[in-house]
Amino acid sequence: QVQLQQSGTELVKPASSVKISCRASGYTFTDYYIHWIRQQPGNGLEWIGWIYPGDGNTKYNQKFAGKATLTADTSSSTAYMQLSSLTSEDSAVYFCGRGGAYYASYWYFDFWGPGTMVTVSS
């Protein structure tokens, strides 16, 4: 069965960076897009961007360009998101979600990871 497993809670200092992971299993990792979504405390969901592990292509929400960097390691079926120049505004839960396949593109998210909480505090 499709599963997305995310790395654990992060407590990081302002101005630093953090890299969180999303390990996929149960399907061909290189065939499907991986999306990242943010949920700030008490707020709704925001789409950050996607990576296509098959060729490493990425697409970002302009709001997160320069803040988030998406990569993928096909040898371990793991997607990563690095967040840089962290401020308290970046404190949130970050989810990975599976999107469509290259042969059947769709832009909703049919499987989600459990989320990674990132807290930015000195």
Partner 1 sequence: DVQMTQSPYNLAASPGESVSINCKASKSISKYLAWYHQKPGKAIKLLIYDGSTLQSGIPSRFSGSRSGTDFTLTIRSLEPEDFGLYYCQQHNEYPFTFGSGTKLEIK
Residues that bind partner 1 (CB under 8 A): 4, 35, 44-47, 59, 61-63, 95, 97, 106-114
Q: How far is the CB of 63 from partner 1 (least distance, A)?
A: 7
SS3 72: strand
Q: How far is the CB of 70 from partner 1 (least distance, A)?
A: 14
- Joined tokens for residue 32: 């499907």
- Joined tokens for residue 116: 């990674």
CB closer to partner 1, 53 vs 97: 97
Q: How far is the CB of 89 from partner 1 (least distance, A)?
A: 18
CB closer to partner 1, 32 vs 109: 109
Q: Which DSSP string corresponds to 4-65?
A: EEE---EEE-TT--EEEEEEEESS-GGGEEEEEEEE-TT--EEEEEEEETTTTEEEE-GGGB
CB closer to partner 1, 5 vs 88: 5
- What is the distance between the alpha carbons of residues 84 and 81, in angstroms, rounded to a whole number? 10
Q: How far is the CB of 74 from partner 1 (least distance, A)?
A: 23
